[in-house]
Amino acid sequence: MTGLTRGSVRPNQWLRNLNAKIASIPMILTALVIFVGGTAWTVVYSFTNSKLLPRLKFVGLDQYERLWEAPRWIISIQNLAVFGFFSLIFSLVIGFVLAALMDQKIRFENTFRTIMLYPFALSFIVTGLVWQWLLNPQYGIQSIVRSLGWESFSFDPLYDSDIVIYGILIAALWQGTGLVMCLMLAGLRGIDEDIWKAARVDGIPMWKTYVLIIIPMMRGVIITTLVIIASGIVKVYDLVVAQTSGGPGIASEVPAKYVYDYMFLAQNLGQGFAASTMMLLTVAIIIVPWAYLEFGGGRKRG
């Protein structure tokens, strides 16, 4: 038997799940018009001298030359690099350690998990304002420690232009580490229990089990987590505005704030579009390798 009755016709692949495909057409059109169209519009107008209103008067690469000659943009890129580097490392390490501890079937796990994830439910503005208060030398952590007797204690990162970005980093880690922990915990819970038993039978130390066996098996979860963290780093804005508004001076400027200020305050759309395009390029550099690893060559090798 061939499994098909005589005269039967195999359905066309394009006609399978036809209702679902028809229902997805509005969303596809929305994505094409709003996201793809908006992106193309931004890139095109980044080559113009648009000011208050967009106008198609091309000036070549002039906006990009001005962008990379602007000290404020250079500082924002440096801040983003420092913020991104430490945010990636500490978010992954702290999140994984917390997930590993949570995976030990501790008591009140649901309570602890909720507490760890709660900061992520807050808006970045609220988080920024809370940590602005905590890091204020007059009535924050510094004031509390000094009231306990350590008069020489100093902790005011938001008021020191050399370390202000680290004060913003503290608030970002407090808010985002809980989400990383939950993602890592989901990956750990997906590991077959037999693997743990086999490692214990073979006498493999716990830390070697994690480093040599568990972490490589969590490759997909780790890559996805990295993309989520990295995309949040590129567009960081709310925390900076709430905590420092870019200060002291321009010491805590970031690209997203640069874009907003030039587009809506300085009324220089061309410069804002150029900065937006550079941010778009950064996001593409992050997303393309992830898409390849997840859906391209990496998936085929697995």
Query: What's the pLDDT tens digit per position in 148-195?
Result: 989 899 999 999 999 999 999 999 999 999 999 999 999 999 888 898
Is the per-residue pLDDT at 19 higher than 90?
A: no
Query: Cα separation of 64 and 60, whole Å?
Result: 9
Query: Cα separation of 35 and 33, whole Å?
Result: 6
What's the average model confidence in pLDDT over 105-121? 87
What's the average model confidence in pLDDT over 39-55? 91
Is the per-residue pLDDT at 144 higher than 80?
A: yes
Query: Cα separation of 187 and 133, whole Å?
Result: 36
Q: What is the pLDDT of residue 185?
A: 93
Neighbours of 120 (CB within 10 A): 16
Domain 61-296 bears CATH identifier 1.10.3720.10: yes
What are the start-end ranges of the H helices in 31-147?
Answer: 37-45, 62-69, 71-102, 109-121, 124-134, 141-147
At 37, is the pLDDT very low, low, confident or very high (cuts 50, 70, 90)? confident
CA angle 23, 291, 222 (to 5 degrees): 115
Q: What is the pLDDT of residue 14?
A: 67
Query: Cα separation of 286 and 62, whole Å?
Result: 26
Is the per-residue pLDDT at 298 higher than 60?
A: no
At 302, is the pLDDT very low, low, confident or very high (cuts 50, 70, 90)? very low
At 11, is the pLDDT very low, low, confident or very high (cuts 50, 70, 90)? low
What's the average model confidence in pLDDT over 31-51? 89
Q: What is the pLDDT of residue 72?
A: 95
Query: Cα separation of 38 and 249, whole Å?
Result: 33
One-letter identity of residue 126: V
Least confident range of 25-29, 68-72, 129-133: 25-29
What's the average model confidence in pLDDT over 278-283? 89
**Location of structure tokens 């073979």:** 202
Domain ranges of the chain: 61-296
**Location of structure tokens 């680290």:** 166
Neighbours of 42 (CB within 10 A): 18
pTM reported for the whole predicted model: 0.85
Q: Are the C-beta atoms of residues 128 and 242 closer than 8 Å to each other?
A: yes
Is the per-residue pLDDT at 242 higher than 90?
A: yes
Of all residues in the chain, what percent are helix, strand and coil, respectively (each to 5)?
A: 70, 0, 25
58 phi, psi to nearest 5 deg = -70, 140
Q: Of 10-14, 253-257, 284-288, which has the strongest mean pLDDT?
A: 253-257
**Location of structure tokens 């972490």:** 215
Please state, in angstroms and as integers, the Cα–Cα distance from residue 78 to each residue in 11, 218, 251, 274, following that order: 57, 31, 10, 18
Tokens of 108: 């009140």
For 281, what's the count of Cα atoms within 13 Å in the CB-facing half-sphere?
Answer: 8
Collapse the DSSP code of 87 into the 3-class scheme (helix H, G, I; strand E, B; otherwise coil) and give the result: helix
Tokens of 183: 């993602």
One-letter identity of residue 73: W
135 phi, psi to nearest 5 deg = -95, 5
Query: Cα separation of 240 and 246, whole Å?
Result: 6
Task: List, for residues 202-237, the tens digit of each pLDDT value.
Answer: 888 888 999 999 999 998 899 889 889 988 899 899
Q: Of 23-32, 103-112, 217-226, which has the strongest mean pLDDT?
A: 217-226
Q: Are the C-beta atoms of residues 197 and 209 closer than 8 Å to each other?
A: no
